[in-house]
Amino acid sequence: MLPLADDYGRVATDLRVSLTDRCNLRCSYCMPAEGLDWLPDDQTLTDDEVVRLITIAVRRLGVQEVRFTGGEPLVRRGLVDIVRRTHALGGVETSLTTNALGLQRNAQALRDAGLDRINVSLDSVRRETFHEVTRRDRLDDVIAGLEAARAAGLGPLKLNAVLLRGLNDDQAPELLAWAIERGYDLRFIEQMPLDAQHGWSRTEMITADEIFDALSAEFTLTPHGAPRGSAPAELFDVDGGPATVGIIASVTRPFCGDCDRVRLTADGQVRNCLFARDESDLRGAMRAGASDEELAQRWVTAMAGKLPGHGIDDPSFLQPDRPMSAIGG
């Protein structure tokens, strides 16, 4: 076993696997209305290549959790089979981050394949706001997907929300009340500089403190007692519990020192940080005939050089060339 350790003592055990850069929404904080130029098919990893790299990560590099992301992973035709083959490795937790479009017809198949849980991106439960943020009138499909996931036993169901100034920044309490009523775990995430348009602005971002204050106007929030560990969310009990809400302060209170994540893009590149400027190519080496041992060593080398932090507050910070949709969350 070769642990994915960096020079600062962190060990990556959580693998985020992007299965596609394509998405069927056009969220304003992620991509332009017209979409992006998607990866050509010959540059995207095949199902067998994805599973091979996951197998190396689990059996040789100590990865314990695999989360499938996108773009939107539900548009990947081989998703269910990839989940099934990953689950068959044993000893690994599998999860999915999705916008829930198409989840209604896939939830049971994913559960049967061995998927453990699902995170759903949902920034508003108002139809007009959802349409404005995503540029699609699909809120009913998201809600139906959540209900199907619950019926299939994919829990706990977590919701991820981003607040945008002037769009939904007045809706945090409403979204939390909606989630609690239905038994969903809600996490608010500070908007990060990962949009394709490079239009992110620190001054326009809704901060964790603002989110906390907005929620506190209608709820009593107290720190949750359980240790946070490497989890990105700071948890709070809502009105004494048992319901909780999380706030992920990726920008204003970064948790880089406890990071245990590594990312594999849909075209087979290792990213040792969400905001990394460099990538390490596994696809090219794999297609050139590299052995599992050689690929594992490449992966270890890629992780060793991980920086101590993402550096968003540093004046020299440069936003990654790839947007979130092409990196995977």
Question: What integer best gives the mean pLDDT of the chain?
Answer: 94
Average pLDDT rounded to a whole number, residues 294-316: 89
Supply the pLDDT for residue 20: 96
Q: What pLDDT does 64 receive?
A: 97
Contact 328, 266 (CB under 8 A): yes
The pLDDT score that the predictor gives to residue 110 is 98
Question: Domains of the chain: which residue ranges?
Answer: 4-327
pTM of the shown model:
0.94
The domain covering 4-327 belongs, at the CATH homologous superfamily level, to: Aldolase class I (3.20.20.70)
C-alpha 302/C-alpha 278 separation (Å) is 9
The residue ranking higher by pLDDT, 312 or 270, is 270
Task: Tell whether the model's pLDDT for residue 326 goes beyond 90.
Answer: no
pLDDT digits (tens, 9 = 90+) for 64-74: 999 999 999 99
Q: Over the stretch 278-298, which tens digit does the pLDDT of each residue have?
A: 899 999 999 999 999 999 999
pLDDT band at 34 (very low <50, low <70, confident <90, very high): confident
